[in-house]
Structure 1
Amino acid sequence: MLHTLKDLEGFAIHAADGDIGATKEFYFDDKQWVIRYLVVETGHWLASKKVLLSPISIKNVNLEGKTLTVSISREQVKNSPDIDTQKSVSRQHEVDYLGYYGYPPYWGNTGLWGGYSSPYMIAPGYSSVAPQPDEGIDMFADADAIRHRNQDRHLRSSLAVMGYHLEATDGDLGHLQGMLIDTDTWAIRYLIINTSNWWLGHQVLIAPNSIKEVSWGTSKIYVDMTQQQVKGAPLFDPAIPFNDE
């Protein structure tokens, strides 16, 4: 089952030594369309500082209880690299962050998370009967991390992109209302589009592979579909759980 980003806001983060805080927003990779970090507001114990939480650290998602159980501790969060969540997160920041927690880089391979489809599969201590990436791939990932230490990794704030206008090949589509997330992989499976005035009262789902371009300067998303094709896309009703299987 898929869940909206809105549904995942306000989740309490449970660590072994106490609560860390609650989710406020998300940073996503606009090339692979996957959530790379959750932005967590820590509350009074850390002066309400906002910190990043990688899905690699998530052990359990409790949707009914609105909690995420993580493998890291409050003490680790307290001493983690200081990253200003009000600014863009560079590759250098990611290298420092992932290195601090002992996580491998997720880039340098064809999967969403290194050579795998799920962030949990690259977490320290994970064991699987599935074949492991060979040493050459690991060496490539390490070299790639060093080569791109000072480059941005196309990470975008989920809050900043909401409300962006969408353009079909033949006219206006409406605006971005939300996103549907697969919490097994943290991939963005669909964008939720409010069709506004041209098709009043509808919300439709568009897969990220239909997106031609995102213009961050003009706050527009260009979609490789016609308005008629969008009318044939799956409809979204927030009152009904969506399952695309």
Structure 2
Amino acid sequence: MKRSLKNMTGYNVEMLDGPSGKAKDFLFDEESWIVRYLEIEYGSFFQGKRILIPNTFLKDPDWNKKQFPVNLSQQDLESCPDLDERTPVSRAYEKSLSEYYGIDDYWPTIYAPPMGITPYFPPRPLRSPSKIVDESDMDTSLRSFKEVKGYHIRATDGKLGHVEDMIVDDADWQVVYLIVDTSNWLPWSKVVILSIDWLDKISYTNQEVTINLKSEHIKHAPEYDPSHPIEMDYEKVLYEYYNDILGEK
């Protein structure tokens, strides 16, 4: 099912042995746009410490109860590797977390291919910006939903709105859509939905997402109503509209 990260932020986190804080943020891998971790706010016991739960342990959220079931115990969280709340998530920390929970790393292992064989690298849904401040120091491809929420949207003819939400498929925690709100930029107020396949690039230094579309295309795009679930009929109309536009380029 496709779910809103914005709506799930603040859900009560339910461990195997009882409630344990609230959903605070979602960290996604910018190379695949898959949510890798749920970050939770655990209360005074973990004051000053970040708690990350790998997506392997996330169960289906309960919309009605606004609960986020997790297949771990509170003791699992209390004994997990320490990460200061002011410290970015490094690849070394992710490695220690994988070892602690006994799960496989999600990033590919670097290896030398046999002679005469060209290594294959899957395509990235977005191009990385040419320069990211302190990127080499961060040593990570993780990005925060709370960070990207609010980024400006830049069309080919100027800015037109901001990122309001992200939609994920909770079967594999793949980010599939960005929700864009144009109300702060244009005389016509509209909320639209964009597939990550239609994005051009994302810049963390400029705090903006670039799309290869004109403002006029967004103005006439099918409107998104967050009070309704995203169903197949709506997605069909959405793809037909954008595929016609992109096919003309």
TM-score range, shorter chain: 0.7 to 0.9
Q: Which residue of 1 aligns with 2:240?
A: none
1:228 aligns with 2:216: yes
Taking structure 1 as the reference length, what is the TM-score of the superposition?
0.76
1:99 aligns with 2:111: no
Counterpart Cα distance in 1 of 2:66 and 2:170: 13
Contact map agreement 1:172 1:198 (CA 8 A) in 2: no
1:229 aligned partner, one-letter code = H
Counterpart Cα distance in 1 of 2:48 and 2:10: 14
1:210 aligns with 2:168: no
2:57 aligned partner, one-letter code = S
Q: CA deviation at 1:198?
A: 2.6
Q: Which residue of 2 aligns with 1:194?
A: 181
1:172 aligned partner, one-letter code = K
2:81 aligns to what SS in structure 1?
coil
Q: Which residue of 1 aligns with 2:3?
A: 3
1:163 to 141, 144, 150: 150
2:36 aligned partner, one-letter code = R
1:41 aligns with 2:41: yes
Alpha-carbon spacing, 1:222–1:154, altered in 2? closer, same or farther (3 Å): same
2:223 aligned partner, one-letter code = L
Q: More deviation in 181-190 or 231-240?
A: 231-240
1:61 aligns to what SS in structure 2?
coil
Contact map agreement 1:206 1:233 (CA 8 A) in 2: no
Q: Which residue of 1 aligns with 2:52?
A: 52
Counterpart Cα distance in 2 of 1:234 and 1:104: 40
2:33 aligned partner, one-letter code = W
Alpha-carbon spacing, 1:23–1:100, altered in 2? closer, same or farther (3 Å): same
Q: Which residue of 2 aligns with 1:23?
A: 23
Counterpart Cα distance in 2 of 1:235 and 1:181: 18
Q: More deviation in 191-200 or 4-13?
A: 191-200
Summarize deviations over 1:9-55 as a string: whole Å, max 9, x none: 12222222222211011111122112111110112444474311111
Counterpart Cα distance in 1 of 2:101 and 2:70: 12
Taking structure 2 as the reference length, what is the TM-score of the superposition?
0.75
Q: Which residue of 2 aligns with 1:65?
A: 65
1:167 aligned partner, one-letter code = R
1:11 aligned partner, one-letter code = Y
Summarize deviations over 1:128-176 as a string: whole Å, max 9, x none: xxxxxxxxxxxxxxxxxxxxxx973321111122211111122222111
Alpha-carbon spacing, 1:174–1:60, altered in 2? closer, same or farther (3 Å): closer
Counterpart Cα distance in 2 of 1:241 and 1:65: 17
Which ranges in structure 1 are unaligned for 5 or more consecutive residues?
110-149
Contact map agreement 1:59 1:71 (CA 8 A) in 2: yes
**1:84-95 counterparts in 2 under 5 A?**
84-95=84-95
Alpha-carbon spacing, 1:17–1:98, altered in 2? closer, same or farther (3 Å): same
Q: CA deviation at 1:242?
A: 2.1
Q: CA deviation at 1:80?
A: 0.4
Q: More deviation in 69-78 or 58-67?
A: 58-67
Q: CA deviation at 1:232?
A: 4.6
Q: CA deviation at 1:206?
A: 0.8
Counterpart Cα distance in 1 of 2:157 and 2:230: 28
Q: Which residue of 2 aligns with 1:13?
A: 13
Q: Which residue of 1 aligns with 2:127?
A: none
Summarize deviations over 1:98-127 as a string: whole Å, max 9, x none: 110001111228xxxxxxxxxxxxxxxxxx
Q: CA deviation at 1:87?
A: 3.0
Which ranges in structure 2 are unaligned for 5 or more consecutive residues?
110-136, 236-249
Query: Percent sequence identity over matched residues?
Result: 33
